């Protein structure tokens, strides 16, 4: 994706397209077209959006009709007004503007008015959607992680929660009825051993859903053995069951290479079918270690891969390098994608292209309408296909369909060149694309001269080629931007799920696994001791079971007391990653736990709002201690409205939390800065 921020790039595309439309009317002698262009920017540029008011539509109507009725400007200029109406609750008036255009002017300019209105509406809506998708990417990742945390918590509570409860019940029964110690302790030991095995299995399962940690471990092992290692990860996470088998293949291959100690270079590569989720994911390990006669350490894994619908192949390259390649079906990946915006972009592109086709067919001789329409439909199909990739074959076919029919259809076919200019801008770097577009425009000029067209008509066709190309490019580029953003957002959500599973795996192994292992050890020890000493061990088991239940809550995603300082550092990291300059100044003393928890929560919500609902470039986070109070302030320069988001449930929740502490939440807006403040008394009054 471009290094330019995506929302800014989207708005720049819209401005260029609107400027192209305006140039047509300016060249025709309408100075009011520049005014109409300036008014339209209010709907596109963020700093001007505060001027979106009903009176703006009135001014646009005055400018549009003054130009068309008073200065004989083409009624196509009314498309700016029609597009603006479609963007507001007054959209039912847009068809009336189209009707008035048909009454005032000929059919061709009236169609142009409808096309301009659709382009203005569609590009502006797509730009807003780009803003929304771009801003919501972090929120979606957080939601995906929270959902995965809830799923993990349910699984663990159903399994380990009942196991720990059974252990505690059994130990209490032994302490209350020593005569049943042998019988009950046997059951407790079995339960503890089963729970420990389940914990280790669950940890391995959560870890195995991702191949990335195993690749990191493999790199560490090889590097420690003096093997130069290169990792090329091209798969999507999480992999699910496929990850476990591929991780086993990688682990066995790397272990064998280290054991032989003959390899000096190793390349680990993963790829996945890019067509759609559910394709094949492939792992390839290549190293320069020579194989031995007793190779067969992967035979069992090869059978497992075959049973799972995949396969494993080993062989030697021409240079004598050993290659191990394993492939498995990726498995279904749940999509969090919202196809609405992408469908809108495709539908809008199809509608605009259809409008251009109708305009062209109006001047085609009746005897040639059918073949001309067939060629136009083929061109439209190629344009839709280009959305999914920059296909050179489609571009070559469009070039042929642009120039070969000109001797047959004459000047009616000159407008088709704009359909070629748009994909050219999309397919090549601008240093190459713009000279090619200039060549396309020159070809239109030469064709017009050869056809004997008047100079004004020649200029009109040449300029229209550029404008049509910009419109097509804008629609295609925004459609791709929306699609790429959605894919990036989904990838971020999948990464959050993987991170949550890896966190659960770490906690299961380090916390719950340790507690269960200690419980098992104590129970087995109690079985071999006399009743007096066994009782002391069993009392320890009860305490350990209570600790294990607390560990289970942590593994399930439960949070301990929040730290305002830690939350501030986390906020700094997130904001800096979003290219926002941060000023952090914490000047508060030690706070009661209740106050620190609430202020940390306020800070988290404030930073989330900065990321989601503003265009901030600077953010200041400060705390100050007064007489019996502490004050947190979060300021940013990306204000969109004076009151923030009054309907936000997050702000409402924070207000309620602070009110419970006799504190208060405030917002203020001045000089382009938005400030959220939270004040709470310290210490907290009793009750």
pLDDT score at 51:
82
HEC string for 394-438:
HHHHHHHHHHCCHHHHHHHHHHHHHHHHHHHHHHCCHHHHHHHHH
pLDDT confidence tier of residue 644, bands split at 50, 70 and 90: very low
Give the model confidence (pLDDT) of 195-228 as tens digits. 777 776 666 666 655 677 678 778 877 887 888 8
Kindly state the DSSP code that residue 51 receives in the 8-state scheme. G
In Å, how far from its chain's centre is CA 471?
26
Sign of torsion over alpha carbons 325, 330, 336, 340: positive
Q: Is the pLDDT of residue 645 over 50?
A: no
Residue 237: the pLDDT is 66
**CA-based max dimension of the chain:** 114
Give the architecture-level CATH label for domain 564-681: 2-Layer Sandwich (3.30)
Q: What is the pLDDT of residue 386?
A: 66
Residue 554: name the closest of 152, 172, 201 by CA. Answer: 152
Give the model's confidence band at 2: pLDDT under 50 very low, under 70 low, under 90 confident, else very high.
very low
> For residue 139, what pLDDT is reported?
57
pLDDT band at 653 (very low <50, low <70, confident <90, very high): low
Instruction: Please report which confidence band the pLDDT of residue 11 belongs to, taking 50, 70 and 90 as the band edges.
Output: confident
pLDDT at 524 over 50: yes
Helix (H) or strand (E) holding 467: helix 455-507
Phi/psi at 581 (5° precision): -70, 135
A 10 A CB-CB count for 668 gives 14
Question: What confidence tier does 620 reach under pLDDT thresholds 50, 70, 90?
Answer: very high
Distance between CA atoms of residues 500 and 160, nearest Å: 19
- CATH T-level topology, domain 138-208+499-555: 1.20.120
Neighbours of 300 (CB within 10 A): 11
Q: What are phi and psi of 508, to 5 degrees?
A: -60, -45
Topology annotation, domain 241-329: Heat Shock Protein 90 (3.30.565)
- Is 150 in contact with 109 (CB distance < 8 Å)? no
Quote the tokens at residue 38: 């300036």
Element (H or E) spanning 468, and its range?
helix 455-507
Specify the pLDDT at position 336. Answer: 45
Query: Looking at residue 194, what is its pLDDT?
Result: 78
SS (H, E, C) 320-332: CCEEEEEEEECCC
- Cα dihedral: 189, 193, 194, 195 (round 10): 100
Q: In sequence order, which ranges of 508-592 are alpha helices (DSSP H)?
A: 513-528, 531-555, 564-577
Q: Are residues 21 and 116 in contact, defined by beta-carbon separation less than 8 angstroms?
A: yes
Phi and psi angles of residue 674, each rounded to the nearest 5 degrees, phi first: -110, 135
Confidence of residue 685 (pLDDT cuts 50, 70, 90): very low
**Is 333 a residue whose pLDDT tops 70?**
no
3-state SS, residue 88: coil
Q: CB–CB of 616/638 below 8 Å?
A: yes
Q: The tokens of 583 are what? A: 């000023």
Give the E-state strand segments of 209-310 in sequence order: 228-232, 265-272, 280-287
Q: Is the pLDDT at 684 greater than 50, yes or no? A: no
More confident residue, 340 or 60: 60
| pLDDT confidence of residue 334 | 46
Instruction: Dump pLDDT digits (tens) for 230-262.
Output: 888 877 666 655 666 787 788 888 888 888 888
Q: In the sheet that 280-287 helps form, which strands lie side by side, from edge to edge?
A: 228-232, 265-272, 280-287, 322-329, 311-316
Q: Tell which wins on pLDDT, 540 or 149.
A: 540
The pLDDT of residue 622 is 93
pLDDT, mean over the chain: 77
Helix/strand/coil percentages in the chain, nearest 5? 70, 10, 20
Q: Which residues contact 475 (CB under 8 A, 6 or more apart)?
A: 119, 122, 123, 345, 348, 349, 352, 422
What single-letter DSSP state applies at residue 73? -
Query: Among 159-173, 449-463, 585-599, where is mean pLDDT lowest?
Result: 159-173
Query: Is the distance from CB of 470 to CB of 16 less than 8 angstroms?
Result: yes
DSSP states along 581-612: EEEEEEE-----HHHHHHHHHHHHHHHHHHHH
Q: How far apart are CA 167 and CA 189, in angstroms?
A: 8
Q: What tens digit of pLDDT does each residue of 413-462 get?
A: 887 888 888 888 877 888 888 888 899 889 889 988 888 888 888 888 88
Which of the residue ranges 372-376, 487-491, 556-560 would you say has the lowest mean pLDDT?
Answer: 556-560
The single-letter DSSP state of residue 562 is: -
Per-residue model confidence as pLDDT tens digits over 377-426: 887 777 777 655 556 777 788 888 888 888 888 887 887 888 888 888 87
When pLDDT is averaged across residues 480-501 and rounded to a whole number, the result is 68
Number of CB atoms found within 10 A of residue 675's CB: 17
Cα separations in angstroms, 29 against 10, 98, 106, 659: 29, 23, 19, 63
Residues 6+ apart with CB under 8 A from 486: 133, 337, 338, 341, 342
| Structural tokens at position 305 | 């891969």
Give the model's pLDDT for residue 149: 62
Contact partners, residue 400, CB within 8 Å, separation at least 6? none
CA distance 682 to 8: 44
Beta-carbon contacts of 291 under 8 Å, excluding residues fewer than 6 positions away, are 316, 322
Kindly report the pTM of this predicted structure.
0.52
**CATH topology identical between 241-329 and 564-681:** yes
Dihedral pair phi/psi, residue 73, rounded to 5°:
-80, 150
Q: Are 116 and 154 in contact (CB under 8 A)?
A: no
Q: In angstroms, how far is the first alpha carbon of the chain from the final one?
A: 55
User: How many Cβ atoms are within 10 Å of 681's Cβ, its own excluded?
Assistant: 15
- Length of the chain equals 687
Tokens 């939270």 belong to 678
Of 93-97, 307-311, 380-384, least confident by mean pLDDT is 380-384
Q: Mind listing the pLDDT tens digit for each residue in 532-560?
A: 777 877 887 787 777 777 767 766 665 55
Map out the domains of the chain as residue ranges: 1-135, 138-208+499-555, 241-329, 564-681
């Amino acid at each position: 994706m471009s290094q330019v921020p995506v929302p800014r790039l989207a708005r720049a595309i819209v401005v260029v397209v609107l400027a192209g439309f305006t140039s047509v009317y300016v060249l025709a002698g309408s100075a009011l077209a520049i005014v109409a262009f300036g008014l339209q920017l209010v709907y596109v540029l963020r700093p001007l959006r505060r001027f979106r008011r009903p009176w703006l539509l009135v001014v646009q109507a005055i400018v549009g009709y003054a130009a068309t009725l008073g200065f004989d400007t083409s009624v196509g200029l009314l498309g700016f007004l029609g597009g603006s109406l479609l963007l507001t609750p007054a959209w039912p008036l847009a068809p009336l503007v189209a009707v008035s255009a048909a009454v005032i002017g000929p059919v061709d300019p009236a169609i142009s008015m409808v096309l301009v209105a659709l382009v203005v509406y569609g590009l502006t809506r797509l730009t807003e959607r780009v803003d929304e998708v771009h801003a919501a990417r972090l929120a979606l990742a957080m939601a995906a992680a929270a959902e995965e945390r809830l799923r993990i918590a349910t699984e663990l509570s159903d399994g380990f929660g009942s196991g720990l409860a059974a252990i505690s019940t059994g130990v209490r029964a032994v302490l209350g009825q020593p005569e049943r110690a042998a019988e009950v302790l046997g059951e407790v030991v079995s339960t503890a051993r089963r729970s420990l095995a389940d914990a280790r299995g669950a940890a391995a399962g959560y870890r195995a859903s991702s191949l990335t940690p195993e690749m990191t471990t493999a790199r560490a092992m090889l590097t420690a053995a003096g093997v130069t290692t290169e990792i090329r990860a091209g798969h999507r996470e999480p992999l699910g069951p496929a990850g476990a088998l591929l991780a086993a293949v990688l682990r066995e291959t790397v272990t064998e290479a280290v054991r032989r100690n003959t390899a000096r270079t190793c390349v680990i590569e993963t790829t996945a079918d890019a067509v759609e989720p559910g394709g094949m994911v492939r792992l390839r390990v290549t190293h320069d270690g020579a194989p031995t006669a007793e190779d067969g350490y992967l035979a069992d894994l090869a059978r497992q891969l075959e049973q799972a619908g995949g396969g494993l192949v080993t062989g030697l390259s021409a240079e004598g390098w050993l290659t191990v390649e394993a492939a498995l079906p990726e498995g279904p990946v749940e999509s969090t994608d919202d196809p609405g915006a992408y469908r809108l972009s495709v539908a809008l592109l199809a509608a605009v292209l259809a409008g251009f086709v109708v305009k062209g067919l109006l001047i085609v001789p009746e005897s040639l309408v059918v073949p001309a329409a067939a060629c136009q439909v083929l061109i439209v199909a190629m344009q839709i296909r280009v959305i999914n990739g920059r296909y050179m074959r489609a571009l070559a076919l469009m070039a042929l369909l642009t120039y070969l029919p000109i001797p047959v259809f004459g000047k009616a076919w000159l407008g088709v060149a704009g359909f070629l200019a748009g994909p050219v801008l999309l397919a090549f770097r601008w240093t190459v694309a713009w000279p090619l577009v200039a060549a396309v425009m020159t070809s239109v000029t030469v064709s017009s001269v050869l056809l004997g067209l008047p100079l004004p008509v020649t200029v009109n066709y040449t300029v229209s080629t550029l404008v049509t190309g910009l419109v097509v490019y804008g629609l295609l580029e925004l459609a791709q931007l929306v699609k790429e953003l959605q894919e990036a957002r989904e990838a971020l959500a999948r990464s959050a799920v993987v991170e949550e599973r890896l966190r659960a795996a770490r906690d299961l192994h380090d916390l719950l696994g340790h507690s269960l292992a200690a419980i098992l050890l104590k129970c087995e020890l109690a079985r071999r001791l006399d009743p007096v000493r066994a009782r002391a061990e069993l009392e320890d088991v009860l305490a350990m079971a209570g600790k294990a239940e607390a560990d289970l809550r942590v593994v399930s995603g439960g949070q301990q007391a929040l730290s305002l300082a830690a939350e501030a550092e986390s906020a700094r990291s997130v904001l800096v990653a979003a290219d926002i300059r941060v000023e952090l100044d914490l000047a508060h003393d030690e706070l009661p736990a209740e106050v620190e928890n609430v202020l940390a929560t306020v800070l988290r919500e404030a930073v989330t709002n900065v990321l989601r609902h503003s265009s901030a470039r600077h953010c200041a986070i400060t705390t100050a201690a007064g007489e019996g109070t502490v004050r947190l302030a979060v300021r940013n320069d990306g204000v969109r409205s004076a009151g923030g988001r009054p309907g936000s449930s997050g702000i409402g929740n924070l207000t309620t939390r602070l009110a419970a502490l006799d504190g208060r939440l405030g917002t203020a807006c001045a000089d382009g800065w938005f400030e959220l403040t939270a004040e709470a008394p310290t210490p907290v009054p009793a009750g």
